[in-house]
Structure 1
Protein backbone atom coordinates (compact mmCIF):
# COMPACT_ATOMS: atom_id res chain seq x y z
CA UNK A 1 0.00 0.00 0.00
CA UNK A 2 1.25 3.47 -0.85
CA UNK A 3 1.43 5.95 1.98
CA UNK A 4 -1.24 8.63 1.80
CA UNK A 5 0.06 12.20 1.56
CA UNK A 6 -0.48 14.19 4.76
CA UNK A 7 -3.64 16.27 4.69
CA UNK A 8 -3.17 20.02 4.58
CA UNK A 9 -4.24 21.88 7.69
CA UNK A 10 -7.37 23.84 6.72
CA UNK A 11 -6.35 26.68 9.09
CA UNK A 12 -2.91 27.06 7.54
CA UNK A 13 -2.33 30.63 6.41
CA UNK A 14 -5.23 32.08 8.40
CA UNK A 15 -3.09 33.34 11.30
CA UNK A 16 -3.25 37.08 12.03
CA UNK A 17 -0.95 39.31 14.07
CA UNK A 18 -1.98 39.86 17.69
CA UNK A 19 -2.69 43.55 17.07
CA UNK A 20 -5.13 42.69 14.28
CA UNK A 21 -6.95 40.34 16.65
CA UNK A 22 -7.29 43.15 19.16
CA UNK A 23 -8.60 45.53 16.49
CA UNK A 24 -11.15 42.98 15.32
CA UNK A 25 -12.19 42.28 18.93
CA UNK A 26 -12.70 46.01 19.47
CA UNK A 27 -14.80 46.31 16.33
CA UNK A 28 -16.95 43.31 17.32
CA UNK A 29 -17.51 44.73 20.81
CA UNK A 30 -18.50 48.11 19.39
CA UNK A 31 -21.01 46.50 17.02
CA UNK A 32 -22.48 44.43 19.86
CA UNK A 33 -22.77 47.48 22.13
CA UNK A 34 -24.31 49.51 19.30
CA UNK A 35 -26.93 46.81 18.79
CA UNK A 36 -27.82 46.88 22.49
CA UNK A 37 -27.82 50.69 22.46
CA UNK A 38 -30.12 50.92 19.44
CA UNK A 39 -32.62 48.47 20.96
CA UNK A 40 -32.41 50.31 24.28
CA UNK A 41 -33.22 53.59 22.51
CA UNK A 42 -36.21 52.06 20.74
CA UNK A 43 -37.55 50.52 23.97
CA UNK A 44 -37.02 53.80 25.82
CA UNK A 45 -39.32 55.49 23.30
CA UNK A 46 -41.86 52.68 23.06
CA UNK A 47 -43.22 51.18 25.21
CA UNK A 48 -40.90 53.10 27.57
CA UNK A 49 -39.29 51.98 30.85
CA UNK A 50 -42.54 52.43 32.78
CA UNK A 51 -44.45 50.40 30.21
CA UNK A 52 -41.88 47.60 30.36
CA UNK A 53 -42.11 47.46 34.13
CA UNK A 54 -45.90 47.33 33.95
CA UNK A 55 -45.56 44.42 31.52
CA UNK A 56 -43.14 42.61 33.82
CA UNK A 57 -45.34 43.21 36.86
CA UNK A 58 -48.56 42.16 35.11
CA UNK A 59 -48.59 38.54 36.45
CA UNK A 60 -48.24 39.82 40.03
CA UNK A 61 -50.67 42.73 39.71
CA UNK A 62 -53.30 40.42 38.24
CA UNK A 63 -53.26 38.38 41.47
CA UNK A 64 -53.14 41.25 43.97
CA UNK A 65 -56.30 42.27 45.83
CA UNK A 66 -58.37 44.89 44.06
CA UNK A 67 -56.83 48.32 44.48
CA UNK A 68 -53.45 47.01 45.71
CA UNK A 69 -50.30 48.14 43.89
CA UNK A 70 -46.55 47.77 44.12
CA UNK A 71 -44.63 50.31 46.19
CA UNK A 72 -41.19 51.93 46.07
CA UNK A 73 -39.34 52.17 49.39
CA UNK A 74 -36.37 54.04 47.92
CA UNK A 75 -36.49 57.56 46.52
CA UNK A 76 -34.77 56.69 43.23
CA UNK A 77 -36.35 53.24 42.77
CA UNK A 78 -39.14 54.51 40.45
CA UNK A 79 -36.38 55.73 38.10
CA UNK A 80 -33.66 53.10 38.43
CA UNK A 81 -35.76 49.91 38.43
CA UNK A 82 -37.58 50.56 35.11
CA UNK A 83 -34.24 51.65 33.63
CA UNK A 84 -32.62 48.36 34.66
CA UNK A 85 -35.50 46.42 33.11
CA UNK A 86 -35.18 48.37 29.87
CA UNK A 87 -31.46 47.62 29.70
CA UNK A 88 -32.07 43.94 30.45
CA UNK A 89 -34.75 43.72 27.76
CA UNK A 90 -32.49 45.49 25.26
CA UNK A 91 -29.69 43.01 25.89
CA UNK A 92 -32.02 40.00 25.49
CA UNK A 93 -33.52 41.32 22.25
CA UNK A 94 -30.08 42.19 20.84
CA UNK A 95 -28.60 38.88 22.01
CA UNK A 96 -28.67 37.28 18.51
CA UNK A 97 -26.53 40.14 17.20
CA UNK A 98 -24.17 39.89 20.19
CA UNK A 99 -23.78 36.15 19.72
CA UNK A 100 -23.21 36.61 15.99
CA UNK A 101 -20.34 39.01 16.74
CA UNK A 102 -18.83 36.44 19.10
CA UNK A 103 -19.25 33.74 16.47
CA UNK A 104 -17.75 35.91 13.71
CA UNK A 105 -14.70 36.58 15.90
CA UNK A 106 -13.92 32.96 16.80
CA UNK A 107 -15.12 31.19 13.62
CA UNK A 108 -11.97 31.85 11.51
CA UNK A 109 -9.90 29.94 14.08
CA UNK A 110 -12.13 26.86 14.11
CA UNK A 111 -11.92 23.73 12.00
CA UNK A 112 -14.94 22.70 9.94
CA UNK A 113 -15.98 19.99 12.42
CA UNK A 114 -15.58 22.48 15.29
CA UNK A 115 -17.87 24.93 13.52
CA UNK A 116 -20.45 22.16 13.21
CA UNK A 117 -20.07 21.71 16.97
CA UNK A 118 -20.09 25.30 18.25
CA UNK A 119 -22.71 27.05 16.12
CA UNK A 120 -25.61 24.66 16.86
CA UNK A 121 -24.78 24.80 20.58
CA UNK A 122 -24.79 28.61 20.60
CA UNK A 123 -28.13 28.76 18.79
CA UNK A 124 -29.69 25.97 20.87
CA UNK A 125 -28.58 27.44 24.20
CA UNK A 126 -29.99 30.86 23.24
CA UNK A 127 -33.34 29.44 22.12
CA UNK A 128 -33.66 27.17 25.16
CA UNK A 129 -32.86 30.00 27.57
CA UNK A 130 -35.51 32.19 25.93
CA UNK A 131 -38.05 29.36 26.12
CA UNK A 132 -37.26 28.89 29.82
CA UNK A 133 -37.79 32.59 30.54
CA UNK A 134 -41.04 32.65 28.54
CA UNK A 135 -42.31 29.53 30.31
CA UNK A 136 -41.55 31.14 33.67
CA UNK A 137 -43.29 34.42 32.79
CA UNK A 138 -46.40 33.12 31.04
CA UNK A 139 -47.12 30.04 33.15
CA UNK A 140 -45.17 29.78 36.40
CA UNK A 141 -45.60 33.36 37.66
CA UNK A 142 -49.38 33.24 37.41
CA UNK A 143 -49.57 29.98 39.36
CA UNK A 144 -47.04 31.06 42.00
CA UNK A 145 -48.63 34.44 42.72
CA UNK A 146 -52.11 32.92 42.83
CA UNK A 147 -50.90 30.34 45.37
CA UNK A 148 -49.17 32.97 47.53
CA UNK A 149 -52.17 35.29 47.58
CA UNK A 150 -54.51 32.44 48.47
CA UNK A 151 -52.65 32.08 51.79
CA UNK A 152 -52.56 35.80 52.62
CA UNK A 153 -54.85 36.73 55.58
CA UNK A 154 -57.61 39.20 54.78
CA UNK A 155 -56.22 41.55 57.42
CA UNK A 156 -53.01 41.98 55.36
CA UNK A 157 -52.86 44.23 52.31
CA UNK A 158 -50.17 43.06 49.90
CA UNK A 159 -47.92 45.86 48.65
CA UNK A 160 -44.69 44.33 47.27
CA UNK A 161 -41.61 46.52 46.80
CA UNK A 162 -40.62 47.04 43.17
CA UNK A 163 -36.91 46.35 43.80
CA UNK A 164 -37.68 43.14 45.68
CA UNK A 165 -39.98 42.07 42.86
CA UNK A 166 -37.29 42.76 40.25
CA UNK A 167 -34.80 40.69 42.25
CA UNK A 168 -37.30 37.82 42.50
CA UNK A 169 -38.10 37.96 38.79
CA UNK A 170 -34.44 37.94 37.75
CA UNK A 171 -33.70 35.01 40.05
CA UNK A 172 -36.59 33.02 38.60
CA UNK A 173 -35.71 33.93 35.01
CA UNK A 174 -32.10 32.82 35.50
CA UNK A 175 -33.19 29.62 37.27
CA UNK A 176 -35.64 28.57 34.55
CA UNK A 177 -33.38 29.75 31.72
CA UNK A 178 -30.47 27.74 33.14
CA UNK A 179 -32.69 24.71 33.81
CA UNK A 180 -33.73 24.64 30.17
CA UNK A 181 -30.02 24.36 29.22
CA UNK A 182 -29.97 20.74 30.41
CA UNK A 183 -29.93 19.28 26.85
CA UNK A 184 -26.95 21.45 25.92
CA UNK A 185 -25.05 20.32 29.03
CA UNK A 186 -25.82 16.67 28.27
CA UNK A 187 -24.69 17.01 24.65
CA UNK A 188 -21.44 18.79 25.59
CA UNK A 189 -20.54 16.22 28.26
CA UNK A 190 -21.21 13.33 25.87
CA UNK A 191 -19.45 14.95 22.88
CA UNK A 192 -16.32 15.82 24.88
CA UNK A 193 -16.14 12.26 26.17
CA UNK A 194 -16.47 13.23 29.83
CA UNK A 195 -19.21 10.63 30.20
CA UNK A 196 -20.77 8.20 27.76
CA UNK A 197 -24.41 8.19 26.75
CA UNK A 198 -24.79 4.80 28.46
CA UNK A 199 -23.55 6.31 31.74
CA UNK A 200 -25.94 9.24 31.38
CA UNK A 201 -28.81 6.81 30.89
CA UNK A 202 -27.74 4.88 34.00
CA UNK A 203 -27.68 8.13 36.01
CA UNK A 204 -31.24 9.04 34.98
CA UNK A 205 -32.68 8.20 38.39
CA UNK A 206 -30.07 10.30 40.22
CA UNK A 207 -30.77 13.25 37.93
CA UNK A 208 -34.49 13.11 38.70
CA UNK A 209 -33.72 13.33 42.43
CA UNK A 210 -31.28 16.22 41.85
CA UNK A 211 -33.85 18.04 39.66
CA UNK A 212 -36.47 17.94 42.42
CA UNK A 213 -33.92 19.08 45.03
CA UNK A 214 -32.89 22.03 42.84
CA UNK A 215 -36.53 22.93 42.25
CA UNK A 216 -37.25 22.80 46.00
CA UNK A 217 -34.31 25.11 46.78
CA UNK A 218 -34.76 27.68 44.01
CA UNK A 219 -38.51 28.06 43.62
CA UNK A 220 -41.06 29.30 46.17
CA UNK A 221 -42.41 26.61 48.53
CA UNK A 222 -45.42 25.56 46.48
CA UNK A 223 -46.01 22.36 44.55
CA UNK A 224 -46.90 24.03 41.26
CA UNK A 225 -43.69 26.00 40.81
CA UNK A 226 -41.49 23.12 41.99
CA UNK A 227 -43.11 20.70 39.54
CA UNK A 228 -42.95 23.36 36.84
CA UNK A 229 -39.16 23.41 37.18
CA UNK A 230 -38.40 19.76 37.99
CA UNK A 231 -40.57 18.07 35.34
CA UNK A 232 -39.21 20.10 32.38
CA UNK A 233 -35.67 19.38 33.58
CA UNK A 234 -36.39 15.64 33.53
CA UNK A 235 -37.97 15.81 30.07
CA UNK A 236 -35.12 17.94 28.75
CA UNK A 237 -32.61 15.41 30.11
CA UNK A 238 -34.24 12.78 27.91
CA UNK A 239 -34.13 15.21 24.98
CA UNK A 240 -30.42 15.72 25.64
CA UNK A 241 -29.75 11.98 25.53
CA UNK A 242 -31.52 11.69 22.19
CA UNK A 243 -29.81 14.79 20.77
CA UNK A 244 -26.37 13.65 21.92
CA UNK A 245 -26.49 10.59 19.66
CA UNK A 246 -27.26 12.68 16.59
CA UNK A 247 -24.83 15.42 17.53
CA UNK A 248 -21.88 13.11 18.09
CA UNK A 249 -22.48 11.46 14.74
CA UNK A 250 -22.72 14.80 12.90
CA UNK A 251 -19.68 16.53 14.44
CA UNK A 252 -16.95 13.93 14.21
CA UNK A 253 -13.47 15.17 13.39
CA UNK A 254 -11.82 13.78 10.23
CA UNK A 255 -9.41 11.64 12.27
CA UNK A 256 -12.33 10.20 14.27
CA UNK A 257 -14.17 9.35 11.05
CA UNK A 258 -11.04 7.73 9.64
CA UNK A 259 -10.43 5.67 12.78
CA UNK A 260 -14.09 4.60 12.74
CA UNK A 261 -13.80 3.49 9.11
CA UNK A 262 -10.60 1.56 9.85
CA UNK A 263 -12.22 -0.11 12.83
CA UNK A 264 -15.15 -1.13 10.64
Structure 2
Protein backbone atom coordinates (compact mmCIF):
# COMPACT_ATOMS: atom_id res chain seq x y z
CA UNK A 1 0.00 0.00 0.00
CA UNK A 2 2.78 2.40 0.96
CA UNK A 3 4.75 1.51 -2.17
CA UNK A 4 1.67 1.92 -4.30
CA UNK A 5 1.10 5.40 -2.89
CA UNK A 6 4.67 6.45 -3.57
CA UNK A 7 4.38 5.27 -7.19
CA UNK A 8 1.15 7.20 -7.83
CA UNK A 9 1.30 9.53 -10.82
CA UNK A 10 0.31 13.20 -10.70
CA UNK A 11 -3.01 12.37 -12.39
CA UNK A 12 -3.72 9.68 -9.78
CA UNK A 13 -2.99 12.17 -6.98
CA UNK A 14 -5.34 14.69 -8.60
CA UNK A 15 -8.00 12.01 -8.97
CA UNK A 16 -7.62 11.13 -5.28
CA UNK A 17 -7.88 14.82 -4.36
CA UNK A 18 -11.03 15.11 -6.49
CA UNK A 19 -12.51 12.15 -4.62
CA UNK A 20 -11.68 13.78 -1.26
CA UNK A 21 -13.28 17.07 -2.31
CA UNK A 22 -16.37 15.30 -3.67
CA UNK A 23 -16.89 13.31 -0.45
CA UNK A 24 -16.38 16.46 1.66
CA UNK A 25 -18.89 18.46 -0.40
CA UNK A 26 -21.44 15.63 -0.34
CA UNK A 27 -21.06 15.22 3.44
CA UNK A 28 -21.56 18.97 3.95
CA UNK A 29 -24.60 19.01 1.63
CA UNK A 30 -26.26 16.02 3.34
CA UNK A 31 -25.66 17.43 6.82
CA UNK A 32 -26.92 20.86 5.67
CA UNK A 33 -30.23 19.25 4.63
CA UNK A 34 -30.48 17.55 8.03
CA UNK A 35 -29.52 20.76 9.88
CA UNK A 36 -32.28 22.70 8.11
CA UNK A 37 -34.60 21.36 10.83
CA UNK A 38 -32.73 23.26 13.56
CA UNK A 39 -31.75 26.32 11.50
CA UNK A 40 -34.44 28.50 13.13
CA UNK A 41 -33.25 27.67 16.66
CA UNK A 42 -29.61 28.31 15.73
CA UNK A 43 -30.59 31.55 14.00
CA UNK A 44 -32.20 32.75 17.23
CA UNK A 45 -28.96 32.00 19.11
CA UNK A 46 -26.88 33.86 16.52
CA UNK A 47 -29.25 36.83 16.72
CA UNK A 48 -29.08 36.96 20.53
CA UNK A 49 -26.33 39.65 20.61
CA UNK A 50 -28.68 41.89 18.60
CA UNK A 51 -32.00 41.03 20.23
CA UNK A 52 -30.59 41.33 23.78
CA UNK A 53 -29.87 45.01 23.11
CA UNK A 54 -33.45 45.65 21.98
CA UNK A 55 -32.56 46.03 18.31
CA UNK A 56 -34.26 44.31 15.38
CA UNK A 57 -32.88 42.71 12.24
CA UNK A 58 -34.65 43.19 8.92
CA UNK A 59 -34.48 41.72 5.45
CA UNK A 60 -34.79 43.91 2.38
CA UNK A 61 -34.98 41.29 -0.38
CA UNK A 62 -37.78 38.84 -1.11
CA UNK A 63 -35.47 35.81 -0.93
CA UNK A 64 -33.05 37.20 1.69
CA UNK A 65 -34.71 35.39 4.62
CA UNK A 66 -34.74 32.08 2.71
CA UNK A 67 -31.12 32.47 1.57
CA UNK A 68 -30.09 33.29 5.14
CA UNK A 69 -31.65 30.07 6.44
CA UNK A 70 -29.87 28.14 3.69
CA UNK A 71 -26.60 29.87 4.65
CA UNK A 72 -27.07 28.93 8.32
CA UNK A 73 -27.93 25.34 7.33
CA UNK A 74 -24.75 25.00 5.26
CA UNK A 75 -22.69 26.55 8.07
CA UNK A 76 -24.10 23.94 10.46
CA UNK A 77 -23.69 21.26 7.79
CA UNK A 78 -20.01 22.12 7.47
CA UNK A 79 -19.48 22.01 11.24
CA UNK A 80 -21.26 18.65 11.65
CA UNK A 81 -19.56 17.14 8.58
CA UNK A 82 -16.14 18.36 9.68
CA UNK A 83 -15.01 14.99 11.14
CA UNK A 84 -15.56 13.41 7.70
CA UNK A 85 -13.80 16.33 5.97
CA UNK A 86 -10.83 16.19 8.37
CA UNK A 87 -10.58 12.41 8.00
CA UNK A 88 -10.58 12.62 4.20
CA UNK A 89 -8.00 15.40 3.96
CA UNK A 90 -5.63 14.00 6.56
CA UNK A 91 -5.89 10.55 4.95
CA UNK A 92 -4.95 12.18 1.65
CA UNK A 93 -1.94 13.90 3.24
CA UNK A 94 -0.89 10.85 5.31
CA UNK A 95 -1.73 7.79 3.16
CA UNK A 96 -1.08 4.09 3.79
CA UNK A 97 -1.43 4.06 7.57
CA UNK A 98 -0.84 0.89 9.56
CA UNK A 99 -3.42 -0.41 12.05
CA UNK A 100 -1.79 1.19 15.11
CA UNK A 101 -1.28 4.44 13.20
CA UNK A 102 -4.97 4.49 12.26
CA UNK A 103 -5.90 4.44 15.96
CA UNK A 104 -3.69 7.47 16.66
CA UNK A 105 -4.94 9.05 13.44
CA UNK A 106 -8.56 8.66 14.57
CA UNK A 107 -7.72 10.24 17.94
CA UNK A 108 -5.98 13.08 16.10
CA UNK A 109 -9.07 13.72 13.91
CA UNK A 110 -11.32 13.74 16.99
CA UNK A 111 -9.02 16.19 18.80
CA UNK A 112 -8.84 18.37 15.67
CA UNK A 113 -12.63 18.49 15.57
CA UNK A 114 -12.92 19.30 19.28
CA UNK A 115 -10.37 22.12 18.90
CA UNK A 116 -12.20 23.55 15.87
CA UNK A 117 -15.63 23.51 17.53
CA UNK A 118 -14.12 24.92 20.73
CA UNK A 119 -12.66 27.78 18.71
CA UNK A 120 -16.02 28.55 17.08
CA UNK A 121 -17.89 28.42 20.41
CA UNK A 122 -15.29 30.55 22.20
CA UNK A 123 -15.31 32.99 19.32
CA UNK A 124 -19.08 33.40 19.59
CA UNK A 125 -19.63 33.45 23.35
CA UNK A 126 -16.44 35.17 24.49
CA UNK A 127 -15.61 37.55 21.65
CA UNK A 128 -18.37 37.98 19.06
CA UNK A 129 -21.19 38.84 21.47
CA UNK A 130 -19.06 41.42 23.26
CA UNK A 131 -17.86 42.92 19.97
CA UNK A 132 -21.39 43.21 18.53
CA UNK A 133 -22.82 44.83 21.67
CA UNK A 134 -19.93 47.28 21.84
CA UNK A 135 -20.25 48.23 18.18
CA UNK A 136 -24.02 48.76 18.54
CA UNK A 137 -23.53 51.06 21.54
CA UNK A 138 -20.78 52.85 19.65
CA UNK A 139 -23.45 54.56 17.56
CA UNK A 140 -24.91 56.27 20.62
CA UNK A 141 -28.55 57.36 20.93
CA UNK A 142 -28.47 59.49 17.80
CA UNK A 143 -27.98 56.62 15.33
CA UNK A 144 -30.48 53.80 14.79
CA UNK A 145 -28.96 50.51 13.55
CA UNK A 146 -30.74 49.05 10.49
CA UNK A 147 -29.16 45.62 10.22
CA UNK A 148 -30.08 43.22 7.42
CA UNK A 149 -30.17 39.53 8.27
CA UNK A 150 -28.08 38.54 5.25
CA UNK A 151 -25.19 40.86 6.06
CA UNK A 152 -25.32 40.03 9.76
CA UNK A 153 -25.16 36.24 9.25
CA UNK A 154 -22.39 36.58 6.65
CA UNK A 155 -20.39 38.71 9.10
CA UNK A 156 -21.06 36.19 11.90
CA UNK A 157 -19.85 33.20 9.86
CA UNK A 158 -16.77 35.05 8.60
CA UNK A 159 -16.02 36.05 12.20
CA UNK A 160 -16.39 32.56 13.71
CA UNK A 161 -14.72 30.30 11.14
CA UNK A 162 -11.22 31.80 11.61
CA UNK A 163 -11.47 31.03 15.34
CA UNK A 164 -11.94 27.35 14.51
CA UNK A 165 -9.02 27.36 12.09
CA UNK A 166 -6.71 29.19 14.48
CA UNK A 167 -7.52 26.71 17.26
CA UNK A 168 -5.76 24.05 15.17
CA UNK A 169 -2.45 25.86 15.85
CA UNK A 170 -1.54 23.83 18.99
CA UNK A 171 -1.87 20.56 17.05
CA UNK A 172 0.44 21.78 14.31
CA UNK A 173 2.96 23.00 16.87
CA UNK A 174 2.80 19.66 18.71
CA UNK A 175 3.75 17.70 15.58
CA UNK A 176 6.54 20.13 14.67
CA UNK A 177 7.94 19.77 18.19
CA UNK A 178 7.72 15.97 17.98
CA UNK A 179 9.72 16.12 14.74
CA UNK A 180 12.35 18.40 16.39
CA UNK A 181 11.49 21.18 13.94
CA UNK A 182 10.43 23.62 16.66
CA UNK A 183 11.73 24.53 20.11
CA UNK A 184 10.19 26.57 22.91
CA UNK A 185 13.26 28.83 22.95
CA UNK A 186 12.58 29.79 19.35
CA UNK A 187 8.92 30.53 20.11
CA UNK A 188 9.84 32.61 23.17
CA UNK A 189 12.35 34.59 21.09
CA UNK A 190 9.65 35.32 18.48
CA UNK A 191 7.03 36.63 20.94
CA UNK A 192 7.10 40.21 19.62
CA UNK A 193 6.67 38.91 16.09
CA UNK A 194 3.77 36.75 17.31
CA UNK A 195 2.02 39.82 18.74
CA UNK A 196 2.37 41.67 15.41
CA UNK A 197 1.23 38.58 13.51
CA UNK A 198 -1.81 38.21 15.78
CA UNK A 199 -2.90 41.82 15.20
CA UNK A 200 -2.33 41.66 11.43
CA UNK A 201 -4.13 38.30 11.18
CA UNK A 202 -7.05 39.66 13.16
CA UNK A 203 -7.29 42.66 10.83
CA UNK A 204 -7.07 40.49 7.69
CA UNK A 205 -9.54 37.82 8.82
CA UNK A 206 -12.07 40.31 10.21
CA UNK A 207 -11.76 43.50 8.15
CA UNK A 208 -13.51 46.23 10.11
CA UNK A 209 -13.33 50.04 10.24
CA UNK A 210 -13.05 49.97 14.05
CA UNK A 211 -9.90 48.91 15.90
CA UNK A 212 -11.64 46.85 18.60
CA UNK A 213 -12.89 43.97 16.41
CA UNK A 214 -9.44 43.02 14.99
CA UNK A 215 -7.93 43.35 18.49
CA UNK A 216 -10.58 41.06 19.95
CA UNK A 217 -9.67 38.58 17.24
CA UNK A 218 -5.95 39.05 17.90
CA UNK A 219 -6.16 38.35 21.65
CA UNK A 220 -7.18 34.65 21.36
CA UNK A 221 -4.60 34.14 18.59
CA UNK A 222 -1.80 35.32 20.86
CA UNK A 223 -3.12 33.32 23.82
CA UNK A 224 -3.05 30.23 21.60
CA UNK A 225 0.55 31.09 20.76
CA UNK A 226 1.45 31.11 24.46
CA UNK A 227 -0.47 27.85 24.91
CA UNK A 228 1.57 26.40 22.04
CA UNK A 229 4.78 27.46 23.81
CA UNK A 230 3.60 25.43 26.81
CA UNK A 231 2.89 22.43 24.57
CA UNK A 232 6.40 22.56 23.10
CA UNK A 233 7.87 22.77 26.62
CA UNK A 234 5.88 19.66 27.58
CA UNK A 235 7.05 17.75 24.49
CA UNK A 236 10.68 18.68 25.18
CA UNK A 237 10.32 17.65 28.84
CA UNK A 238 8.97 14.27 27.72
CA UNK A 239 11.89 13.79 25.34
CA UNK A 240 14.43 14.66 28.06
CA UNK A 241 12.72 12.27 30.47
CA UNK A 242 12.78 9.40 27.96
CA UNK A 243 16.41 10.17 27.07
CA UNK A 244 17.35 10.10 30.78
CA UNK A 245 15.69 6.72 31.29
CA UNK A 246 17.43 5.40 28.18
CA UNK A 247 20.82 6.52 29.56
CA UNK A 248 20.04 4.86 32.90
CA UNK A 249 19.22 1.59 31.15
CA UNK A 250 22.40 1.80 29.09
CA UNK A 251 24.50 2.49 32.21
CA UNK A 252 22.84 -0.40 34.05
CA UNK A 253 23.57 -2.68 31.10
CA UNK A 254 27.16 -1.46 30.93
CA UNK A 255 27.74 -2.09 34.67
CA UNK A 256 26.26 -5.59 34.35
CA UNK A 257 28.60 -6.35 31.45
CA UNK A 258 31.64 -5.08 33.41
CA UNK A 259 30.78 -7.28 36.41
CA UNK A 260 30.38 -10.35 34.21
CA UNK A 261 33.78 -9.72 32.64
TM-score if structure 1 supplies the norm length? 0.68
The corresponding residue for 1:72 is: 59
Provide closer, same or farther for how the CA distance between residues 85 and 136 of structure 1 changes in structure 2, counting only shifts above 3 A: same
Q: For 1:113 and 1:214, locate their aligned partners in 2 and report how far apart those are by CA, in whole Å.
A: 37
Q: Give 1:191 shift.
A: 4.6
| C-alpha spacing 1:213/1:36, structure 2 compared with 1 (3 Å) | closer
Of 79-88 and 30-39, more deviation after overlay is shown by 30-39
Please name the residue that 2:138 is paired with. Answer: 151
Q: Distance in 2 between matches of 1:124 and 1:236?
A: 16
Alignment match of 1:99 (pick from 86, 89, 92): 86
> Does the CA contact (< 8 Å) of 1:11 and 1:111 recur in 2?
no
Matches within 5 A, 1:1-264: 11=2, 32-33=24-25, 35-44=27-36, 46-47=37-38, 49-63=39-53, 65=54, 68-103=55-90, 108-110=95-97, 122-191=109-178, 194-215=181-202, 218=206, 221=210, 223=212, 228-246=216-234
Residues 24 and 73 of structure 1: is their aligned pair in 2 closer, same or farther, counting only changes over 3 Å?
A: same
Structure 1 distance, partners of 2:165, 2:4, is 39
Query: Relative contact order: is structure 1 or structure 2 higher (C-alpha 8 Å, sep ≥ 6)?
Result: 1
Does the residue aligned with 1:152 lie in a helix, a strand or coil?
coil
Q: Give the conservation status (yes or no) of the 8 Å contact 1:133–1:173.
A: yes
Distance 1:106 1:186 in 2: 17
Note the C-alpha offset of 1:83: 0.3
1:81-120 C-alpha deviation (Å, 9 max, x unpaired)? 2101101101211211332344556655247897698666
CA-to-aligned-CA distance 1:218-248 (integer Å, 9 cap, x gap): 375365x556433433332232123235557
Structure-2 change in CA distance of 1:20 and 1:146 (3 Å): closer
C-alpha spacing 1:198/1:88, structure 2 compared with 1 (3 Å): same
| Matched pairs, number | 240
Query: What secondary structure is seen at the aligned counterpart in 2 of 1:94?
Result: helix
Q: Which has the higher helix share?
A: 2
Q: Is the 8 A contact 1:81 1:162 kept in 2?
A: yes
Segments of structure 1 that go 5 or more residues without pairing to the other structure are 1-9, 252-256
C-alpha change, 1:233 and 1:112, in structure 2 (3 Å) is farther
